[in-house]
Structure formats: C-alpha cells, structure tokens
Structure 1
Amino acid sequence: MLAIFTLLFSLPSATAGTPKTPVLASWEQLMAGGCDINKAHVSTPLEARVLRNIPFARGGYVFKTLQLTRLFEADGGWYKPVQGRTVTLTSTEQPASTP
C-alpha cells in the first residue's frame, strides 16, 4: 500500500512553490490542465480513481472502501469524513456529459 501511495502521488505539482499535499496537488494539476489526464500524468486506473473521488473526499464523504479512506487520511489530515453527509459537486467538478 505504501508503494502505491508513493508512486501515485509523486506527480509534479501545478502550483510549484505552494506547499500542498500530494493528492490535492495532483487534483489542482488536473484542474489546471483542463481535466486532461495526459497533462496531469495520470497513468493508472488507481490514479484516475483517486482523482475522480477527490471532490467527494473534500466534501467529507465516507467511503465504503478502506483503500480510498486510507489514501485520503494519509494525505496530510485534510480528509474529514462526516457520516450521512451528501456531497454536492460544483459545476467544475461535474463529469462531462457525453454526446
């Protein structure tokens, strides 16, 4: 698990000079690149899954899997799960509609 965490969050930050946790830095890089996974250097399904779930983690969603829970908890203490919380995504965080 530690190897996955290290590998997953060794992505360069889009906001160099600003101390960010690895997960949030990766999220900011993805958003800055127009949600282009290639620009954000997303190369595995696990990386994509973690990035896809960041808006929910930021909103306090309680994940059903220990993998996501532990990854977010290990990322600097910003993840604060709240039982029964419904997370509303912003328009930027909403998935793109397909034609």
Structure 2
Amino acid sequence: MSRIGKLPIAVPDGVKVFLEGGSVRVEGPKGKLKTEIPPSIQVKMEGTHVRVSRETEERQVKALHGLTRKLIANMVEGVSRGFSRVLEINGVGYRAEAKGTEL
C-alpha cells in the first residue's frame, strides 16, 4: 500500500468535506475547492477523517492513490489555514517592486 495514500486526512473544525460521485468538494473559512477523483480511487468519510483507498495494485493506480490523498490534504489545509510563500530576492539584476500585498 502507498505510504502516503494509507494515511488518514484529519478534517479540522470549520471545514466540511462533501463526496459527490466522482469528485470531492471542500469548504472552509478561506474558501471552497473541488477536485475530480479517478475512477479507480475511492474516498470515504470516517468521522472527522477522510480515507482514500484503491481498487487494484497496478502501478499507475498506486501513483494516483498517493496523489489523490495529497491533493485532498492540500485542499483541506488551503481552506482552513490558507497558503503563502515568503520570497527573498538577493542579487543584482532582479527587478521587483511591492505594491500593497502583491509583488
């Protein structure tokens, strides 16, 4: 079994996960996200956790198993805490200007 795919995804308070046929929708205080799930992958809600499983042991399905689990985990994190990256620009020849909160 995939080392990443077998881990359950904890759903924090304030975040809702909806399983809609072949897609997963996640809603939280920072917004809404939706992704399609491959047909060979199953997603189940178990209390406050989401569990991802697969039907077969084919190489491509194994890769999709871990990918799907990580995509859903990233969606949960994005709608609950958000995502930001701190950039540091060093050197000569780089031209960057901050306008408000945008670079």
Q: Which has the larger radius of gyration?
A: 2
More helix by share: 1
Higher RCO (CA < 8 A, seq sep 6+) = 2
Identify the structure with the greater strand proportion.
Answer: 2
TM-score (structure 1 length as normaliser): 0.28
Q: What TM-score do the two structures reach when normalised by structure 2?
A: 0.27
